[in-house]
Amino acid sequence: MEIPFAKLHGNGNDFIIIDEFEKTVIPDDMKAQFAAIYCDRKFGIGADGVIYVMKSKKCDLCMRILQPDESEADMCGNGIRCIAKFAYDAGYTKETCTIETLAGEIGVSMGYKGENFLAIITMTPPQYGRKEIPATGSGEYKEKIAGYEVYAVNTGVPHAVIIVDSVDAVDLETVAPKIRHHKTFPKGANVNFVEKTGKNSIRIRTFERGVEGETLSCGTGATASAATVHRLGLTGDVVDVETRGGPLTIYVNDVVKMEGPATTVFKGIITF
């Protein structure tokens, strides 16, 4: 048995892509286990998740993403760019498309600038707060967890956003799990530490649920972080976000958009 795959990344947030546009390759009851096995960086291919490219009845494409802990994510910002590049290169779509996700329909415009592939993603509208958290006088939703003021915002998946003086000074692997598993977030949350670096720029580090560790970049986390600092009046409408894997640009207007690259690393075949 042979299973073709591609390895892509968006700013270092890497994924195994399985093409199921024409037919099922991995049975549904095996998709979670497949992710656990092949996302392993020592015994598998190594990735932050497995993305399945599928047909959709209402959109141009459908994306499913399974994570190393065998959970399924509703959406993934960097993953959207990767599936968009894969589909574009395969001829499944052109410069614009819509992608069905568990978080809703995502619009994408994309193309090459020289050898570099760039995509602009229309994100799901940020939802601020959770009903479990009381509103403060500023209208924000936040709660003190593990000694930090934590803002809650959902950009397709739940996020905790914490503004700090220096992201490098944070003991991420110790602090983030306490916030990720806090009762405030019944389904858990990705945890983003945010440092303001300029008038309209921030640096972030993200601990991702499902991966259960720090990733080099998180698109929905960058969006959640930019939307939060903008809502607090700390930046303008265009926010440059520096992740450990590279830059993203978030446009925070009536419609929130994310702009960033996607790169094909290699293609291969799993044989049994």
Write the pLDDT tens digit of every residue in 31-52: 999 999 999 999 999 999 999 9
Number of domains in the chain: 2
Burial of 43 from C-beta contacts in 10 A (0-12 / 13-18 / 19+): exposed
Q: Which of the residues 62, 76, 82, 97 is marked catalytic?
A: 76
What pLDDT score was predicted for residue 147? 93
Residues 35 and 72 in one domain: yes
| Annotation says 218 is catalytic | yes
- Give the C-alpha separation, 200 to 198, whole Å: 5
| Annotation says 76 is catalytic | yes
Residues 10 and 119 in one domain: yes
CATH number at residue 114: 3.10.310.10
CB 212 within 8 A of CB 176: no
pLDDT in tens, 174-201: 999 999 999 888 889 999 999 999 999 9
Return contacts of 231-240, CB within 8 angstroms, 24+ apart.
231/128, 231/140, 232/138, 232/140, 232/163, 234/196, 235/196, 235/199, 235/200, 235/201, 235/202, 236/199, 236/200, 238/200, 239/200, 239/201, 239/202, 240/198, 240/200, 240/201, 240/202
Residues 14 and 111 in one domain: yes
Q: Which domain holds residue 184?
A: 127-254
What pLDDT score was predicted for residue 134? 43
What pLDDT score was predicted for residue 184? 84
Residues 186 and 167 in one domain: yes
pTM: 0.90
Which regions in the chain score pLDDT beneath 70?
130-140
E strand map for 102-171: 104-113, 116-122, 127-128, 142-145, 148-154, 158-163
Residues 12 and 42 in one domain: yes
Residues 218 and 119 in one domain: no
Residues 230 and 154 in one domain: yes
Return phi, psi of residue 226, to 5°: -65, -40
Count CB-CB contacts under 10 A for residue 104. Answer: 13
What pLDDT score was predicted for residue 138? 43
What pLDDT score was predicted for residue 136? 43
Residues 132 and 231 in one domain: yes
What pLDDT score was predicted for residue 158? 92
Residue indicated by tokens 């998709």:
31
What pLDDT score was predicted for residue 132? 44
What pLDDT score was predicted for residue 130? 57
What pLDDT score was predicted for residue 254? 87
What pLDDT score was predicted for residue 73? 93
Residues 153 and 209 in one domain: yes
Residues 175 and 220 in one domain: yes
Residues 16 and 105 in one domain: yes
Residues 12 and 103 in one domain: yes
Q: Which of the residues 39, 62, 82, 218 is marked catalytic?
A: 218
